[in-house]
A and B are shown apart, each in its own frame.
Chain A
Amino acid sequence: MSVENAPVVDVDEAAIPVEKKMYYRFESNDKKEFRVSELAIQQSETLNRLVEAMGYTSEDVENKPAIAIENIDGKTLKLVFQWCEHHKGEAIPVDDGSVPKIVEIPEFDAKLMDIDNGLLFKLIWAADYLNIVQLLNVSCKKVANMAQGKTPAQLRRVYLLPSDEEDEAAKRAAQEAQDPRAREVEEEFEERKRQGGNSFF
């Protein structure tokens, strides 16, 4: 896809300082291209470090190929960049693990995350991968909100939680799957011992 045809995320021009007005191009794994402002990229620690390391000029951005993000699809990446553009310039929360988090979901984020759970799952995965702290917070909070008013039985269905019996069965299966190899190792060890060598390790 050419630069001209790339879908452009809505940008609030007024909010971008003149000297920062540089747009990077990213490409999703399904070859959709996005132009994202430098300020918006700062919301993602991963992308911010990447573009800093590349040290692109405005010309490089236009002339060089779009930066490929090979494990996130276009639909998800569009949400991610829409979020980053909306929240550009905002302080990134620091979680030093010292205090419980308090997070409210703003109206914009609530609308953005009004999506099916499959896409929400991918959004969380992408936010985690790109290290977008606040997007991760609001999306996790959205998942937590699914528990509202649910009985344990309903939670099992919503979150696909295995029952104790299923956990036991999975554990047994894992043990059985592991056993043949353990037996092999043991046999090999015994064989070497019989041969009088102690060089097994």
Chain B
Amino acid sequence: MIFSNLTSVFWRCWCSPNLKVVPETRETPIPKPEKFPLLTLREELVDNVLEFMTPLELISFSLCSKSTKQLAKAVRNQPKFKKDCKSFKVSFCPLFQRIVMEIKGFPNTHWQFLQDYGETDRIRDPKTRVLNSISIRNWKPKKQKANLYGSSPEYSDHEPAVFYSIETFSDYFPFGMNKLLDHINDVYNFPNRVMSVNLNSSYADRLMAFYKDKDPLEYWVLECTGLLSDILIKSAFDKQNASKGLFLRCENLSRTFRFDLESFNNVKENLDIYFAKWVKIEDIFNLKTERIAIFGSKLEDGDLRLLINKWREGWNPEWKQFLLEYNQYKVNPDRYFDEDCVEITNGRHKSFIVEDSPVKLFKFKEQKQLRNRNDTVYGYHILRDDGGIATLQIERSFGVFIIQSKNESCFQFSSHRCLFEPRVMWQ
């Protein structure tokens, strides 16, 4: 044993090469056992920790100080999180208001701040106040499961969505919720926002006025179910400031309701109007939104034919796609044209269309496989004398008129949810 120890000492002193892991000069702080000095870790490790927090935890962290907000923001600014956020949705309903966040890293999970108007904060503890305007007493989220698609048999096997909710209280309507939204929006580096307002809420007009003067939000949803005055609805339509998409779901509008759709020309990408009995085909002509979709209207295939003929005569609309849900269930695509056409086997490739062809109509048919059924897509590519091409795509009770771009290598088709998913999911 002594010999062995001596040998060991001998080896250490004289014979060994310097096989050492070189220590860093920084001293390791020794924290108290119940605390964790997060910010004494090196920056990359702090990011690592923050990356593992849930969205609600990260927001709580970001509310600790200006510097923690910057840290949270920097973590979410990494390239890998660039497309991680789905739209953040703010809803104002008659009974509650909420902010719902969806992050791709947490699939089928919704994170929400919810203010139920039936609940009041009797304690009013100033320590629970954040951003000087909103109280959050408990940061332990309530977990609930909800079937987003109701009892749709097509989605009976679909996993219910999980909601993690944190209750908020604020007397400052709608400033409180808006301040929290601005904060979250900043931390998450400005994802798209959806503002959803139920116009049946007693404060709807005040709310619309508040947001009218703010920076535009990307998407707006305006909905109502009960009878409302035309004036209130028109006023709400006028005040929305959607930059990318507007979705109108206003039921039971009066028979005399009319609105100039050109007021929606601030909307660049999507305009969807449901329960659109008040919309006429002429209203569509001068719209500038790229994709327009009209559901539940009185429009029929004759109206779409009118649009097609107008285009064939040389008219160029500023929109690119017009989707119409017919006021009839089955549509016969052959009723649209009474001239000769060429049947092509592939409706996607431009090579099947010859520009100087004497035939101006190219008919195609495709099978599309959906979740529980097969659909047939009928269509025509229509060639104009100036070389312009448009497509009529017909599926079930939907017709889509698409102005094709010369810059694309393939023909574009509509990818609206109504063509792929059951009604319960998109309406």
Give the segment of B31-39, B382-390, B411-419 that binds chain A.
B31-39
| Minimal Cβ-Cβ distance residue in B for A163 | B65
Q: Which segment of B43-51, B144-152, B169-177, B269-277 sits at the interface?
A: B43-51
Option from B28, B36, B39, B64 in Cβ contact (under 8 Å) with A152:
B64
Is A144 within 8 A of B52, CB to CB?
Answer: yes
Take A151-B60, A156-B64, A167-B65 as given contacts and tell me if A117 and B31 are in contact as well, using a CB distance cutoff of 8 Å. yes
Q: Across the interface, name the chain B residue whose C-beta is closest to A126.
A: B28
Decide: A160 and B45 in contact? CB cutoff 8 A.
no
Please count how many residues in chain B sit with their CB below 8 Å of the partner chain's CB atoms. Answer: 59
Interface string of B11-54 (1 = CB under 8 A from A): 11001100111111000111111111111011001001111110
The answer for the CA separation of A150 and B35 in the assembled complex, in Å, is 13
CB-nearest residue of chain A to B65:
A164
Contact partners of B80 in chain A: CB under 8 A: 97-100
Contact check, A140 vs B45: say whether CB atoms are below 8 A apart: yes
A68 and B33 CA atoms in complex are apart in Å by 27
Q: Which of B60-98 contact A (CB under 8 A)?
A: 60-61, 63-68, 78-81, 84
User: Whole-angstrom distance from the CB of A49 to the nearest CB of chain B?
Assistant: 11
Please state if A70 and B60 are interface contacts (CB–CB under 8 Å): no
Residues on the A chain within 8 Å of B127, using CB: 151, 153
Cα–Cα distance between A69 and B39 once the two chains are bound (Å): 25
* Chain B residues near A156 (CB-CB < 8 A): 64-65
Given A128-B45, A140-B45; A151-B139 close (CB under 8 Å):
yes
Which of B28, B34, B105 sits near A122, CB closer than 8 Å?
B28
Taking the closest CB of chain B, its distance from the CB of A71, in whole angstroms, is 4
Choose, from A13-21, A59-67, A172-180, A185-193, the stretch at the interface. Answer: A59-67
- B4, B36, B50, B141: the one contacting A117 at CB < 8 Å is B36
B182 within 8 A of A: no
Q: Is the CB of A149 within 8 A of B140?
A: yes
Q: Is A141 an interface residue (CB 8 A)?
A: yes
Q: Assess the B67–A144 pair: CB atoms within 8 A.
A: no
Q: A101-B52, A121-B36 are in contact. Are A151 and B78 (CB under 8 A)?
A: no
Given contacts A118-B31, A121-B31, contact A68 B21 (CB under 8 A): yes
CB 8 Å contact bits of A22-62 with B (1 = contact, 0 = none): 00000001000000000000000011001000100000000
Bound CA–CA A163/B64 (angstroms): 7
- The reply to whether A64 and B11 form a contact with Cβ atoms under 8 Å apart is yes
- Whether A65 contacts B50 by the Cβ 8 Å rule is no
Cβ B21 vs Cβ A50 within 8 A: yes
Could you tell me the distance between the alpha carbons of A176 and B230 in the complex, rounded to whole angstroms? 65
The reply to whether B64 and A143 contact each other, CB–CB distance below 8 Å, is no
Q: Give chain A interface residues in 87-144, CB to chain B under 8 Å.
A: 97-103, 116-118, 120-122, 124-125, 128-129, 136-137, 140-141, 143-144
B42 touches A152 (CB 8 A): no
B176-214 vs A, Cβ < 8 Å mask (1 yes, 0 no): 000000000000000000000000000000000000000
Contacts of A151 in B (CB 8 A): 60, 127-128, 136, 139
Q: Is the CB of B30 within 8 A of A118?
A: yes
B1 within 8 A of A: yes
The answer to whether B130 has its CB under 8 Å from any CB of chain A is: yes
Q: Which residues of A contact B81 (CB under 8 A)?
A: 100
Of A70, A152, A164, which is within 8 A of B23 by CB? A70
Contact residues in B for A169 (Cβ distance below 8 Å): none
Chain A: minimal CB distance from B247 (Å) = 29
**Structural contact, A117 and B21, CB atoms closer than 8 A:** no
A100 in contact with B5 given A147-B61, A148-B57, A159-B39 (CB within 8 Å): no
Return chain B residues, CB-CB under 8 Å to A136.
45, 48
On whether the beta carbons of A68 and B20 are closer than 8 Å, the reply is yes
Instruction: Tell me if B64 and A161 are in contact (CB < 8 A).
Output: yes
Residue of B nearest to A149 (CB): B140
Would you call B36 and A146 a contact (CB within 8 A)? yes
Question: Roughly how many angstroms separate A161 CA and B399 CA in the complex, as a whole number?
Answer: 59
Q: Is the CB of A144 within 8 A of B39?
A: no
Question: Does A162 sit within 8 A of B, measured CB to CB?
Answer: yes
Bound form: Cα–Cα A65–B68 in Å: 46
What is the CA–CA distance of A166 and B42 in the complex, to the nearest angstrom? 20
Flag if B33 contacts A117 (CB, 8 Å): yes
A71 touches B21 (CB 8 A): yes
A30 and B5 alpha carbons, distance in the complex (Å): 17
Of B22, B35, B39, B105, chain A has the most CB atoms within 10 Å of the CB of B35
* Chain B contact residues, CB within 8 Å of chain A: 1, 4-5, 8, 11-12, 15-16, 19-24, 28-39, 41-42, 45, 48-53, 57, 60-61, 63-68, 78-81, 84, 104-105, 127-128, 130, 136, 138-141
A97-B79, A159-B35 are known contacts; what are 16 more A-B pairs with Cβ within 8 Å?
Answer: A2-B1, A2-B8, A67-B21, A70-B21, A71-B23, A146-B36, A147-B61, A152-B130, A156-B65, A158-B35, A159-B38, A159-B61, A160-B37, A161-B39, A161-B64, A163-B65
Q: List 30 A-B contacts (CB under 8 A).
A: A2-B4, A4-B4, A47-B21, A65-B12, A67-B21, A68-B19, A71-B28, A97-B80, A103-B52, A116-B33, A117-B34, A118-B32, A121-B28, A121-B31, A121-B41, A124-B45, A128-B42, A140-B45, A140-B51, A140-B52, A143-B38, A144-B49, A147-B53, A147-B60, A149-B138, A154-B139, A160-B37, A160-B38, A161-B39, A163-B64
